[in-house]
Structure 1
């Protein structure tokens, strides 16, 4: 039962974008080792700014 709840919680987090920053950091460290990575706050700020700049890319 607990395993099912954890999987469901992880799935909801993935759907909401909770894991996006961690994926960004992993990819940046793989592609550009030694290069500074944006903080989580900077990442979300840039992501929302890009979304606002191109509203047709959103579904709603």
Structure 2
């Protein structure tokens, strides 16, 4: 029973991180580590992501 609850929680956690974009930061840090360049700050990363979303409104209602 406990293992099933743990797997369910991991699935919910994964979904929420993907939905909110939190996983994008982790992927960015992995990319920087693989290519050997210093990452930008979290603030700059989020600002760039927000600016890109505003320039390319794909599925926005407003």
Category of TM-score, reference length = shorter chain: 0.7 to 0.9
TM-score, normalisation: structure 1:
0.74
> Following superposition, which runs of at least 4 residues in structure 1 exceed 3 angstroms of deviation?
none
Indicate the RMSD between aligned Cα atoms, in angstroms: 1.5
5+ long unaligned stretches in structure 1: none
Cα distance in 2, alignment partners of residues 45 and 10 from structure 1: 23
TM-score, normalisation: structure 2:
0.72
Aligned residue for 1:53? 55
Cα distance in 2, alignment partners of residues 36 and 11 from structure 1: 28
- Count of residues in Structure 1 that have an aligned counterpart in Structure 2: 56
Cα offset, 1:52, TM superposition: 1.3
5+ long unaligned stretches in structure 2: none
Cα offset, 1:54, TM superposition: 2.5
Cα offset, 1:15, TM superposition: 2.0
